[in-house]
Chains A and B, each alone.
Chain A
Amino acid sequence: MPPELASILYQFGTNAAFLLLSALGLIVILGMMNIINLAHGEFMMLGAYVASFTVHRGIPFPLAVILAFFATGAFGIVLERLVIRRFYGRELGALVTTWGISLILAQGALLLFGPYMPPIPIPGGAVSEGVYSFSVYWLILIGISIALVAALTLIYRATPFGLQARATMQNPAIARSLGIRTGRVYMLTFGLGAGLAGLSGALLAPATSIAPFMGQQFVAPAFITVVVGGGANVIAGAIGSSTFLSLIETPVSLTLGTFYGTMALLIMALLIIRVLPAGISSLGAHLRPAVAR
Chain B
Amino acid sequence: MTDSENFPAGPGEIEPAQPSAPGSGGPTRRGLLQGAAGIAAAGVVLAHPNIVRAASETPVKIGFIEDESGNLSIYGIQKLHAARLAVQEINDGYTLAGGPVGSGCLGTMGLYSPAPPTLTSGPGAKLNIINDGGTPSEQAIVTADTQEILIPSGEKGLLGRPVDLVSSDGQSNNTLWQQLARRMIQQDKVDVLMAGFASAEREAIRPIVDQRKQLYFYTNQYEGGVADGYTFCTGAVCEQQVIPVMQYMVEKFGPKIFTIAANYNFGQLTAAWVRSFAPVLKAKVIGEEFPPLEVSEFSSVIAKVQAAKPDWVMTLLVGQNQSNYYPQAAAAGLHLPMASTVNMAQGYEHKRFTPPSLANMHNAVNYMQEIPTKRNQDFVTRFYKMFPNDPYLGQEAQNAYFTIHLYAKAARLIGTTDQEKVRRTLEAGWAIEAPEGTVFLEPATHHVSHYIRLAATDEKQQISFLREWPMIEAWWLQRLGVNLVRHPEHKQYTPQEDPFFKMFG
On chain B, which size bracket covers the interface? Answer: 35 or more
Q: Which residues of the other chain, A, contact B292 by a CB distance below 8 angstroms? A: 258-259, 262
User: With a CB–CB cut-off of 8 A, which chain B residues contact A257?
Assistant: 288-290
Q: Which residues of chain A are within 8 angstroms of B290 by Cβ–Cβ distance?
A: 257-259
Q: B117 in the interface, Cβ–Cβ < 8 Å?
A: no
Q: Cβ of B389 and Cβ of A114 under 8 Å apart?
A: yes
Chain B residues near A250 (CB-CB < 8 A): 300
Q: Which chain B residue lies CB-closest to A214?
A: B320
Q: A115-B391, A216-B70 are in contact. Are A122 and B333 (CB under 8 A)?
A: no
Does B306 have its Cβ within 8 Å of any Cβ on chain A?
A: yes
Q: Shortest Cβ distance from B294 into chain A, in angstroms?
A: 7
Instruction: Scan A186-214; emit 1 where CB is below 8 A from any B CB, else 0.
Output: 00000000000000000000111101111
Determine whether B297 belongs to the interface, using a CB cutoff of 8 Å to chain A.
yes
Give complex CA distance A262, B296 in Å.
11
Q: Is the CB of B263 within 8 A of A15?
A: no
List, in ascending order, chain B residues with CB within 8 A of A136's CB. 331
Write out the residue numbers on chain B whose beta carbons fall within 8 Å of the beta carbon of A125: 333
Cβ–Cβ contact A213 & B70, under 8 A: yes
**Contact string against A for B residues 302-337, beta-carbon threshold 8 Å, 1 for contact and 0 otherwise:** 011011010000000000110110011011111000
When A15-B297, A209-B324 are in contact, do A254 and B303 touch as well, CB less than 8 Å?
A: yes
Asked if B179 is at the interface of the complex by the 8 Å CB criterion, the answer is no
From A30-38, A127-135, A162-170, A232-240, give the one contacting chain B: A127-135
Report the minimal beta-carbon distance from A183 to chain B, rounded to whole angstroms: 35
Name the interface residues of B116-158: CB closer than 8 Å to any CB of A. none
- CA A138 to CA B303, docked complex, whole Å: 14
Give the complex CA separation of A79 and B291 in angstroms.
Answer: 36
Whether A76 sits at the interface, judged by CB under 8 Å, is: no
Q: Verify if A39 is at the interface (C-beta below 8 Å from B).
A: no
Q: How far is A106 from B71 in the complex, measured between Cα atoms in Å?
A: 11
Residues of chain B lying within 8 A (CB to CB) of residue A137: 331
Let me know if B175 is at the binding interface, CB within 8 A.
Answer: no
Known A133-B333, A217-B320, A259-B291: A110·B299 in contact at CB below 8 Å: no
Q: Does A73 contact B (CB under 8 A)?
A: no
- Interface-located stretch among A6-14, A83-91, A285-293: A6-14
* A254:B327 contact, CB within 8 angstroms: no
Check if B77 is an interface residue, CB within 8 A of chain A: yes
Known: A134-B332, A207-B331. A107 touches B300 (CB 8 A): no
Would you call A25 an interface residue if the criterion is a C-beta within 8 Å of the partner chain's C-beta atoms? no
Q: Which of B73, B295, B323, B389 is the one whose CB lies under 8 Å from A212?
A: B73
Asked if A126 is at the interface (CB within 8 A of a chain B CB), the reply is: yes
B391 to nearest A CB, angstroms? 6
Question: Quick one: closest B residue to A131, CB to CB?
Answer: B306
A247 within 8 Å of B (CB atoms): no
Q: Which of B74, B263, B296 contacts A208 (CB 8 A)?
A: B296
A7 touches B303 (CB 8 A): yes
Docked complex Cα distance between A119 and B321 (Å):
14
CB of B21 within 8 Å of the partner chain: no
Q: Does A282 contact B (CB under 8 A)?
A: no
CB distance from B193 to the nearest CB of A (A): 24
Q: Is the CB of A217 within 8 A of B332?
A: no
Known: A135-B333, A257-B290. A213 touches B71 (CB 8 A): yes
B464 at the A interface (CB under 8 A): no
Q: Check B334 against A15 for contact (C-beta < 8 Å).
A: no
B323/A14 in contact, CB under 8 A: no
Q: How far is the CA of A262 from the CA of B322 in the complex (A)?
A: 14
Of the candidates B69, B77, B288, B390, the one having the most CB atoms from chain A within 10 angstroms of its own CB is B69
Are the C-beta atoms of A115 and B74 separated by less than 8 Å?
Answer: yes
Minimum CB distance partner of A117 in chain B: B352
Q: Is the CB of A133 within 8 A of B297?
A: no
| C-alpha gap A125/B327 in the complex (Å) | 12
A128: B residues at CB distance < 8 A: 333
Does A70 sit within 8 A of B, measured CB to CB? no
Q: Kindly identify, within residues 231 to 276 of chain A, every residue whose CB is under 8 Å from any CB belonging to chain B.
A: 250, 253-254, 257-259, 261-262
Q: Which residue of B lies closest to A254 (CB)?
A: B300
Query: In the assembled complex, which residues on chain A have CB atoms less than 8 Å from the CB atom of B304?
Result: 254
Which of B296, B331, B352 is within 8 Å of A217, CB to CB?
B296
A60 close to chain B: CB less than 8 A: no
Which of A7, A116, A209, A214 counts the most B-chain CB atoms under 10 A from its CB? Answer: A209
Q: CB of A101 within 8 A of chain B?
A: no
**Contact present for A138 and B332 (CB under 8 Å):** yes
Whole-angstrom distance between the Cβ of B110 and the nearest chain A Cβ: 33
Looking across the interface, which residue of chain A has its beta carbon closest to that of B389? A114
Is the CB–CB distance between B291 and A209 below 8 Å? no
A190 to B328, CA, bound (A): 31
Pair B300/A209 contact, Cβ less than 8 Å: no
Decide yes or no whether B111 CB sits under 8 A from chain A: no
Q: A207-B324, A258-B300 are in contact. Are A116 and B331 (CB under 8 A)?
A: no
15 A-B pairs besides A131-B306, A209-B353 with CB distance below 8 A are A15-B297, A18-B297, A107-B69, A115-B74, A126-B331, A126-B332, A136-B331, A137-B331, A206-B331, A217-B320, A254-B304, A257-B290, A259-B263, A262-B292, A262-B295
10 contacts between A and B (CB under 8 A): A15-B297, A121-B354, A125-B333, A126-B333, A132-B307, A213-B69, A213-B70, A254-B300, A258-B298, A262-B295
Ordered nearest first, which 9 A-B pairs have the shortest CB separation? A126-B333, A133-B333, A135-B331, A122-B331, A253-B300, A258-B291, A14-B299, A217-B296, A135-B332
